Structure 1
Amino acid sequence: MTTQAPAAPLLFVHAHPDDETLTTGITMARYARAGHPVHVLTCTLGEEGEVVPPELAHLDVHHDDALGPHRREELRGAMAALGVTHEVLGEGDGRLSRYRDSGMAGLGTAPGPDTFVAADLEDAAALVAAVIRRVRPAVVVTYDRHGGYLHPDHVQTHRVTCAAVASLPVPERPLLYAVLTPASWAREDREWLARHLPADSSWTLPDPDGDYPPSVVADELVTHEVVDPSLVPLQALALRSHATQLTVDGRVYALSNDIAARLSGREGFARLDPVTGDLLAASHPDTTAGATGSTTTGSSTGAPRCADLTEGTPT
């Protein structure tokens, strides 16, 4: 009788509560349902975030400054919905986190010494490396060098996670991925919103011909994908736990900026070099028999994408 090897663990490293479900909720749910241990490490509690519901506005930094503990509980609810484990970087011994949210760039205020963006890179990387050694993931997922959309904490999360993986002996390094969106997907999502958002909606439609965040890249740079629209209701359920940060309506959500965004049920990735932080040279597999069982659609170049993050990038 053959003994089946245990499913490979995955670790997702994110900057603030809600980032994990917005950018990798489908992937985490898919792997958790397939029996993989999935763990989320959140680097700050998002204390500087805006608050959407007026009845909770008192939590923000301009009033009670109690948003961090509240968002910690929102994170618990979201992770329970997705069926994954979670922790905050440096929590324990009576404190909820080691670092404070740094706030968006361009606000005109210098980040305090306890903020994540001001953290010593070596010290923060050591904390993340300790989590990696404990969780022993085969795969670590975080942001690209632009942090997805240039938030200072997201950029720092990329730097710290790369340094943590690079600090491990080469044989012990997990596969490291950045979350990316193929340009064709991003445009399709905006065109879908134009057809499906009710005319009387108070949310703004994003322009398909407008600007996109840096994490939207040429299709050929995205080498891996998880596609499962059936998991969107579960992702939406988890997102509703993050009620201070966003509003969900079916397969559409909006942050505090009231710009509509689609829950499309698909997420893209590419391998990172932990030493340089750069994307590894894009290459595509000839076969796509992923352990998650998801289908593979392929890039605009016609090359298929791998459906299993644990398989790495074939050469």
Structure 2
Amino acid sequence: MLKNDLSGARVVAVHAHPDDEAITTGGVLADLAARGADVTVITCTLGEQGEVIGETFAQLVNGDADQLGGFRIHELYASLEILGVRGIHLGGAGCWRDSGMVGDPANEHPRAFIHSGDRAVEQLKELLAELKPHLLITYGPDGGYGHPDHIRAHEITHAAAGEQRILWAVSDREELEDGLKAITGLPEGWGRGELSAVDSVDLSVELNDEVYATKVESMRAHATQLWIADGSVSRTNPVAAHAVTQQDNVKVWALSNLIAQPIMRHEHYQLGAGTPLPEGATGVLDGLEV
């Protein structure tokens, strides 16, 4: 890693909920920031419809105290600090609410992000005019796994963008399947399930040990949402989980559904718009004049 070799580069990642920045793009964002790039994460909702891992804060969820969104702000900013990047809430914290999955009653909330319309596009346009990014990162048209808020983040990013390159964060099917096959022991109650992935990618970014460790810690900051099976505990979830994998230096994690996944040693991207990636590209800014 060359320190400050990306000084002057400006990158914006548009994400739907707190924790998405860490799960899907944490390695790349940490690497860019460590190399001097100006990196901003725009988060569109507070993740109010999330579930909670661990009993400590279990009653913060919608249906009980409905305080989870406010709690997740602190998890988000802890994650952003670990990554070394700036954070902005689209429209201000609490402007748009987590819409939940398709069919969730939260779909009908008047502030649900899926109803954000032209207002959200204009909010993002204003931010991009100020930030002037060379690169935008978001999700593909299906939002990665079909979440309506991820799809909406994709839509507003493309609607608000100028001539910037847009990259979509995706999971490479082959590497994901290899990682899943390598998991030989799961914590009690954890299981296996089908995960969303794509058959081809335009860019595979290798995460060195430093960047990988930073990504893991940024994910760990979202303790109400993610459980990392490396024996760690926290105030949020004081119960340790241990997974066994045959892959060296790879950790295993799960959401509240307890479907095990590897934290892969690469992050993968598809080109969504703008300047093509040059042949043999290894970084998200390759081929751009910054």
Using the size of structure 2 for normalisation, the TM-score is 0.85
CA distance in 2 between counterparts of 1:110 and 1:82 reads 31
Partner residue in 2 for 1:174: 164
The one-letter amino acid paired with 2:214 is L
Partner residue in 1 for 2:243: none
SS at match of 2:53: coil
Partner residue in 1 for 2:238: none
Asked if 1:191 is matched to 2:200, the reply is no
CA distance in 1 between counterparts of 2:31 and 2:254 reads 23
Q: Is the 8 A contact 1:246 1:255 kept in 2?
A: yes
The one-letter amino acid paired with 1:176 is I
Partner residue in 2 for 1:294: none
Partner residue in 1 for 2:25: 24
1:139-188 alpha-carbon deviations (Å, 9 max, x no partner): 000000000000110111111111011xx3xxxx2111111222211211
Larger Cα Rg: Structure 1 or Structure 2? Answer: 1
Partner residue in 2 for 1:293: none
Partner residue in 2 for 1:223: 202
Partner residue in 1 for 2:286: 311
Runs (4 or more) in structure 1 with deviation over 4 Å come to: none
Asked if 1:90 is matched to 2:80, the reply is no
Residue 312 of structure 1: how far off its partner (Å):
4.9
Partner residue in 2 for 1:300: none
Asked if 1:115 is matched to 2:112, the reply is yes
1:221-249 alpha-carbon deviations (Å, 9 max, x no partner): x1112111412222121112111111112
Partner residue in 1 for 2:102: 105
CA distance in 2 between counterparts of 1:158 and 1:107 reads 20
Aligned-residue RMSD, C-alpha = 2.1
Partner residue in 2 for 1:301: none
SS at match of 2:285: helix
Residue 135 of structure 1: how far off its partner (Å):
1.3
The one-letter amino acid paired with 1:242 is H
Partner residue in 1 for 2:79: 78
CA distance in 2 between counterparts of 1:39 and 1:119 reads 21
Q: Which runs of 5+ in 1 are unaligned?
A: 275-279, 289-305
Q: Is the 8 A contact 1:253 1:262 kept in 2?
A: yes
Asked if 1:203 is matched to 2:190, the reply is yes
Partner residue in 1 for 2:245: none
- Decide which of 125, 132, 136 is 2:132's aligned counterpart: 136
SS at match of 2:171: strand
Q: Is the 8 A contact 1:175 1:312 kept in 2?
A: no
Partner residue in 1 for 2:221: 241
Residue 5 of structure 1: how far off its partner (Å):
8.2
SS at match of 2:17: coil
The one-letter amino acid paired with 1:205 is R
CA distance in 1 between counterparts of 2:219 and 2:22 reads 6
Partner residue in 2 for 1:302: none
Q: Is the 8 A contact 2:271 2:277 kept in 1?
A: no
- % identity of equivalent residues: 31
Could you tell which deviates more after superposition, 136-145 or 96-105? 96-105
Q: Is the 8 A contact 1:44 1:99 kept in 2?
A: yes
Partner residue in 2 for 1:232: 212
Residue 119 of structure 1: how far off its partner (Å):
1.2
Partner residue in 1 for 2:234: none
CA distance in 1 between counterparts of 2:195 and 2:62 reads 29
Residue 264 of structure 1: how far off its partner (Å):
1.3
CA distance in 2 between counterparts of 1:252 and 1:153 reads 25
Asked if 1:63 is matched to 2:64, the reply is yes
SS at match of 1:264: coil
Residue 62 of structure 1: how far off its partner (Å):
1.0
